[in-house]
Amino acid sequence: METKVVKIWVEDVPYQHLEVLKTNRTKRHKAGEFFVEGVRNINEAVKNRWEIEAFIYSREKPLSDWAYDTLENVPVGTHFELTDVLMQKLSDKENTSELIAVVSMPENDLSRIKTTQNMTVVVFDRPTNKGNLGTMLRSCDALGVQGLIVTGHGVDIYDPETIGASMGSFFKVPVVNISTFAELTGWLQKLKAQYPGLQVIGTSAHGSTDIAACDFKLPTILLIGNETEGLSRNYKEMSDKLVFIPMSPASSASSLNVACAASICLYEINRQRK
């Protein structure tokens, strides 16, 4: 592949396009591209064979061996060379990133999630916090989850803050965003026909089953509710069981952070299966 080098010295149209990928959800999805910053995230995107459209960098400061090697060995269509001032403006890092990637969005399809007889798939309904979504992705990666489904209108899975908080796990765990409850129920009906033992487990501080008493050796869809409102009525009715995490009676906390709660649930699933 022949790489085109585009030099950007002022905030012209190419620069504005790059800035839009970083800041504008609607235009990001219209373009089908997103903004990736950070060595770990870029390395994981390359390692997991995501389609990288372009690299962005400045030559006004020396590049590291890692940056040179990446530019030399990863095939992309375009290199954008920025001034150091523009690179500082585009980067979210306190110490300006030396390399930023523009990556193509994969097809937003549930078929990206590879289902198995011992699967765990997490469904996160209407997340409102980018950090929580990124952290949950890290836990999904660490604890062997086959995929994460984000439902409803919440934070953008392709927001740079979400990807940054995932510390590279975004590129390992398939993440699919679906807008309607009906799309999820249709997918689950097909799965239940294919895997008769499949269980749908909801999580709630007011659940009736202690998480340790739930049999997670079965293929499991784990439902995680919105940070403020928890699981909606539809999701509670869909659940075969509603589990809770026991907390100390002396605790002043009424609930756990949603990403922490999800991590505890995934650890328990992993522990039982081992």
Kindly report, residue by residue over 72-107, the tens digit of the pLDDT.
Answer: 999 999 999 999 999 999 997 888 999 999 999 999
Q: Which of 54, 69, 104 is the last residue of a domain?
A: 104
DSSP state letter for 3: P
Residue 124 and residue 90 in one domain: no
pLDDT score at 94 = 83
What is this structure's pTM? 0.93
Residue 254 has pLDDT above 90, yes or no: no
CATH number of the structural domain spanning residue 179: 3.40.1280.10
Residue 261 · residue 254 · CB < 8 Å:
no
Q: How many structural domains are present in the chain?
A: 2
Range(s) of the domain holding residue 100: 4-104
Residue 79 and residue 118 in one domain: no
Residue 46 and residue 126 in one domain: no
Residue 1 has pLDDT above 70, yes or no: no
Residue 162 · residue 130 · CB < 8 Å:
yes
pLDDT band at residue 194 using 50, 70 and 90 as cut-offs: very high
Residue 221 has pLDDT above 90, yes or no: yes
* Whole-number Å distance between alpha carbons of 172 and 124: 17
Phi, psi of 62 (to 5 degrees): -60, 135
pLDDT (mean) for 169-189: 94
Residue 124 and residue 237 in one domain: yes
Most confident of 7-11, 251-255, 261-265: 261-265
pLDDT score at 93 = 84
pLDDT score at 10 = 86
pLDDT band at residue 56 using 50, 70 and 90 as cut-offs: very high
